[in-house]
Amino acid sequence: MRTVRQLLDAKPAEIVSIGPDAPVIEALRRMAEREIGALLVMEGPALVGIVSERDYARKVVLQGRASKDTPVREIMTAQVRTVAPTDTVEHCMQLVTDRRIRHLPVLDGGRVVGVLSIGDLVKAVIEEQQQTLDQLQRYIAS
């Protein structure tokens, strides 16, 4: 099974984040520009939360708040589940399934080094299954 480090090595190294005091509208703009569903919320180098489209829908839209006047801090998820570069894809899939989350920040020695989405994990599982199928077909044909 592949590791988180291997998945991160295949992705662009950029980490897209926002500060906790930024207005929610800015977080939405940044997500739209990057075509992503979540942003890390950072104070300097420290991860303090994550904000997603789901947070926006549930904590701004449904509560009748204004995106311009609401700071990210008020809608972000502060208890962020993280993984390490040495964790396996299998472990990450278990986390996103059990916790019903879609994004996993990756920390190495307390420092953010990347983010994995459920899409990254599903792609990795499919690739691994395809490799296994290819190997079995070669074995059967030989």
What is the structure's pLDDT at 56? 94
Rounded alpha-carbon distances, angstroms, from residue 50 to 28, 75, 76, 130, 137: 13, 9, 5, 33, 43
* Separation CA 71–CA 86 (nearest Å): 34
Give the CATH superfamily of 4-141: CBS-domain (3.10.580.10)
The string of pLDDT tens digits covering residues 29-49 is 999 999 999 999 999 999 999
Q: How confident is the model at residue 135 (pLDDT cuts 50, 70, 90)?
A: confident
What is the structure's pLDDT at 14? 87
Residue 39: is it exposed, middle or buried by C-beta count within 10 angstroms (0-12/13-18/19+)? buried
Pick the more confident residue, 133 or 91. Answer: 91
Instruction: Using alpha carbons, select from 40, 61, 41 the residue that is nearest to residue 114.
Output: 40
Strand partners, 112: 107
What is the structure's pLDDT at 139? 80
Instruction: Using alpha carbons, select from 103, 114, 124, 105 the residue that is nearest to residue 2.
Output: 124
* Separation CA 81–CA 21 (nearest Å): 21
pTM for this model (two decimals): 0.88
